[in-house]
């Protein structure tokens, strides 16, 4: 009995060790270009020194829009990145809701058109792909009706994702390219800290598919948050459904926090009034109005940093908070924006504030004396420290 008990305890310990290894596997970080790979800038990628590039082109723009695969700077940049030796995390943004589309039925003419476009793009970029992502924010970019069970019990979003994987991705890499299929992730899911998102049948079933299908490497999650607690809430939900497979985080930011605080007055605190006096700003000016000044005229790195440090709600060194939690919950890859994309010049309280996130703020920050883009003091040094830590 003692021998059997010892063996049993040994197996438990080994199982726990295996679980720990899976969750603490090597973590890497890179740069994200979202849906606009045409802005990939190799000069600044080299300055940062990352190995990973992530992008998800809007595939329906190639099917129904004005993009031409045979003359497209975006796809050309992706191919160039691959040829230069960057590791590529790639996938497509299926913006069905934007186009007012229902997800096509299996075997339909419409589905065949979509899958053939996907194959055509993969013939260009496929040889360089290291991670393939089966979608982008499907819970935001799909009609709600397509995330619900139909009369036959199937969920169109889940069915389409599985068919994309089995009819396009696997045959392309294994039969056409005759190479090993890259790591495949389902997602990316944003807002998993919200109860409404957690109860969507399509979301639940896709996470279960990531967990149960041995051909799927893991799950992709987006973490655009208003409080640091939402990071843990998202991960805890995922880990309940997918306990040990890897997670990747292609996008993360404090964007929701910035939007919540858009009406914050510069002079709402003594520190804020000191900031306003030092930099010649009206203390009654709102956060979003100051953002418009940055996007139209540019501000110095000193003013940019001083503004956010004067906000009681801003968490300094927030990248370190992400880094700690990513390690805790088994994130193997995370990518962060290199350059600004959306910089509204006519700001309103509801304007997007993505321009605050990137490592370089080429429009909002006054350029360096040599003409180079100014780095973002809120995140740059912490990102470099994080990057160096992944190489130890």
Mean pLDDT confidence for 317-330: 97
Residue 36: predicted pLDDT:
95
Diameter over CA atoms, the chain: 79
Residue located via tokens 């190479």: 179
pLDDT (tens digit, 9 = 90+) per residue, 152-187?
A: 999 999 999 999 999 999 999 999 999 899 999 999
Task: Specify the CATH class of 28-260+316-338 in words.
Answer: alpha beta
What is the percent of the chain with per-residue pLDDT over 70, rounded to a whole number?
94
Give, for 293, the enclosing helix (H) or strand (E).
Answer: helix 287-296
Q: State how far the alpha carbon of 92 is from the alpha carbons of 38, 157, 280, in Å.
A: 15, 14, 45
Residue 14: predicted pLDDT:
40
User: How much is the mean pLDDT over the chain?
Assistant: 93
Residue 7: predicted pLDDT:
39
Comparison of pLDDT for 100 and 26, the residue scoring more: 100
What is the percent of the chain with per-residue pLDDT over 90, rounded to a whole number?
91
pLDDT (tens digit, 9 = 90+) per residue, 344-374?
A: 999 999 999 999 999 999 999 999 999 999 9
Give, for 248, the enclosing helix (H) or strand (E).
Answer: strand 247-253
Domain borders along the chain are: 28-260+316-338, 262-312+339-377
Mean pLDDT confidence for 323-340: 97
Mean pLDDT confidence for 260-270: 97
pLDDT (tens digit, 9 = 90+) per residue, 3-12?
A: 444 433 433 3
Confidence check: pLDDT of 15 > 80: no
Q: What is the dihedral of CA 185, 191, 196, 202, to 10 degrees?
A: -10
Q: Is the torsion defined by CA of 187, 244, 239, 333 positive or negative?
A: negative
Q: Are 217 and 185 in contact (CB under 8 A)?
A: yes
Alpha-carbon span 139 to 273, nearest angstrom = 42
Alpha-carbon span 244 to 183, nearest angstrom = 16
Confidence check: pLDDT of 302 > 70: yes
Q: Which residues contact 225 (CB under 8 A, 6 or more apart)?
A: 193, 231, 252, 253, 254, 255, 256, 257
Alpha-carbon span 344 to 292, nearest angstrom = 7
Confidence check: pLDDT of 2 > 50: no
Alpha-carbon span 82 to 370, nearest angstrom = 29
Residue 25: predicted pLDDT:
58
Tally DSSP H helices, then E strands, for the chain.
17, 8
Confidence check: pLDDT of 72 > 80: yes
Q: Which two tokens stand for residue 307?
A: 């503004």
Residue 8, SS3 per DSSP: helix
Global pTM reads: 0.92
Q: Is the torsion defined by CA of 26, 29, 33, 37 positive or negative?
A: negative
pLDDT (tens digit, 9 = 90+) per residue, 193-252?
A: 999 999 999 999 999 999 999 999 999 999 999 999 999 999 999 999 999 999 999 999
């Amino acid at each position: 009995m003692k021998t059997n008990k010892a063996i049993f305890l040994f197996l438990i310990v080994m199982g726990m060790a295996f679980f720990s290894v899976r969750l603490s596997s090597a973590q890497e970080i890179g740069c994200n270009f979202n849906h606009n790979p045409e802005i990939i800038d190799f000069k600044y990628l080299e300055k940062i020194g990352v190995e990973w590039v992530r992008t998800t082109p809007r595939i329906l723009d190639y099917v129904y829009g004005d993009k031409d695969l045979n003359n497209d700077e975006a796809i050309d940049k992706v191919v160039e990145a691959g040829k230069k030796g960057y590791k590529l995390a790639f996938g497509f943004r299926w913006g069905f809701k934007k186009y007012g589309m229902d997800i096509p039925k299996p075997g339909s003419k419409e589905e065949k058109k979509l899958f053939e476009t996907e194959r055509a793009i993969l013939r260009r970029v496929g040889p360089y792909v290291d991670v393939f992502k089966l979608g982008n924010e499907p819970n935001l970019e799909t009609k709600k009706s397509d995330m619900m069970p139909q009369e036959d019990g199937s969920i169109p979003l889940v069915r389409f994702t599985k068919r994309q994987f089995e009819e396009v991705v696997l045959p392309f890499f294994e039969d056409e390219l005759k190479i090993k299929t890259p790591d495949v992730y389902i997602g990316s899911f944003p807002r998993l800290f919200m109860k409404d998102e957690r109860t969507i049948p399509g979301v639940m079933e896709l996470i279960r598919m990531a967990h149960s299908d041995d051909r799927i490497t893991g799950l992709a999650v987006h973490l655009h948050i208003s409080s640091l607690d939402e990071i843990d809430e998202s991960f805890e939900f995922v880990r309940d459904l997918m306990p040990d497979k890897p997670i990747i985080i292609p996008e993360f930011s404090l964007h929701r926090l910035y939007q919540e605080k858009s009406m914050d007055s510069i002079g709402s605190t003594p520190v804020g009034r000191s900031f306003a006096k030092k930099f010649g700003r009206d203390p009654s000016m709102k956060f979003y109005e100051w953002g418009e000044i940055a996007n139209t005229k540019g501000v110095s790195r000193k003013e940019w940093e001083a503004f956010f440090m004067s906000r009681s709600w801003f968490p300094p060194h927030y990248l370190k908070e992400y880094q700690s939690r990513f390690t805790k919950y088994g994130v193997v890859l995370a990518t962060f924006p290199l350059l600004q994309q959306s910089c509204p010049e006519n700001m309103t309280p509801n304007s997007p504030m993505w321009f605050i996130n990137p490592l370089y703020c080429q429009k909002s920050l006054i350029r360096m004396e040599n003409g180079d883009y100014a780095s973002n003091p809120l995140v740059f040094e912490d990102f470099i420290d994080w990057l160096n830590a992944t190489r130890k």
